[in-house]
Structure 1
Amino acid sequence: MTPDMPLRPATLADLPAVAALANWAYRGEGGPVGWTAEGHLLGGPRTDEAALQALLTRHAPEHAALLLAHTAAGRLVGCVFVHPQADALYLGLLTVAPDHQGTGLGRQLLLAAEAYARQHRRPVVRMTVLEARPDLLAWYARRGYQPTGRTEPLPAEGSHGQARQPLTLLVLEKRVSDVG
């Protein structure tokens, strides 16, 4: 377990490193594959600089942020996207470098997102997770996230990559506050 790393919001200058991190963690590009890799389900990059910039620009007026975790040496090793919506905080792109998985960093990023929800008076944190990832669904369940019964199709276009099979996203939620 590593000690908590300070988090900071991403700037546009960080986006190339964030894209590289996400593509390593989710597709195995650029290093050893971690348990979060989903290249067997999706081909192509997980994201790119342009998609990240569009995400941040589109949601900036709504207090969205991409929170980053760096080592003491300055290496980017984790991120999470948080977007306050009308009734919940949407969490996405929770990413931990494969060589830092199992250290508690993913949990730290998740707790930071939950704190962001409370700070922005959103009582619920919501996310979507691939139904074909029972290991990831179990990880979130151990942290209190439960399926809502709602599903969404994987967007045909966007920053997820090309599906190698039909894929469905499950909507998960966790109540983090009674304030809303």
Structure 2
Amino acid sequence: MTHTGVLHMQRADASDAPALTDLANRAYRDWIDVIGSKPQPMGADYDDLINKDEVWLTGPRDRLKGSLVLRQEADHLLLWSIAVAPGTQGTGLGNRLLDFTLERARNLSFSEVRLFTNVKMQSNRDWYARKGFCETERKMIGTKHVVLMTRSV
């Protein structure tokens, strides 16, 4: 499903790392109490992610509205992180970011998008399921119990 509204995405560069860290902290902070620790994107090294992955952003660079971290694997595109600023949540931006991810996978000739989310993030798991993702595995990543989910594109 394609959602209405123009989404202006741009690739992040090294100068965007502080704004990406700020966005992750704002977008994920409410999950700390739910999972008992900081979600992985809150502790990420965005300089490193920008260098090795595709990091996309939308909104003014000094106050981002949303971001994606996409990793090209051998046989799929990994949606490593999707972040939406708290004041923008509920506006459909997350849906549009996911649409962008699926289109990016098609453009890169991948037939599948995969992601992982904390097992305790039930509303996220439910949202991904409504978007066509299916749970494929549960495992530990570091100290976090995660659910791996997959969707064909």
TM-score by length of 2: 0.88
Alignment match, 2:46: 52
Q: How many residues align?
A: 148
What is the identity, as a one-letter code, of the residue corresponding to 1:39? I
Aligned partners of 2:76 and 2:112 also within 8 Å:
yes
| 1:113-138 C-alpha deviation (Å, 9 max, x unpaired) | 11111111110000001111111101
Return the alpha-carbon distance in structure 2 between the equivalents of residues 75 and 3 of structure 1: 20
* 1:140-179 alignment runs, 5 A limit: 140-148=128-136, 150-156=137-143, 167-176=144-153
Alignment match, 1:7: 9
Q: Which segments of structure 1 move beyond 3 Å, counting only runs of 4 or more?
A: 42-45
Return the alpha-carbon distance in structure 2 between the equivalents of residues 169 and 43 of structure 1: 13
What is the identity, as a one-letter code, of the residue corresponding to 1:67? W
Ranges in structure 1 where 5+ consecutive residues have no aligned partner: 28-36, 157-166
CA RMSD of aligned residues (A): 2.0
Alignment match, 1:26: 28
Is the radius of gyration larger for structure 1 or structure 2?
1
Residue 70 of structure 1, CA deviation? 0.6
1:70 to 59, 71, 77: 59
Aligned partners of 2:59 and 2:65 also within 8 Å:
yes
Between the two structures, name the one with larger relative contact order (CA 8 Å, sep ≥ 6). Answer: 1
TM-score by length of 1: 0.76
Aligned partners of 1:5 and 1:70 also within 8 Å:
no
What is the identity, as a one-letter code, of the residue corresponding to 1:82? L
Return the alpha-carbon distance in structure 2 between the equivalents of residues 129 and 102 of structure 1: 19
Structure with greater helix percent: 2
Cα gap change, 1:114 to 1:19, in 2 (>3 Å): same
Ranges in structure 2 where 5+ consecutive residues have no aligned partner: none
Question: Are 2:71 and 1:83 equivalent residues in the alignment?
Answer: yes
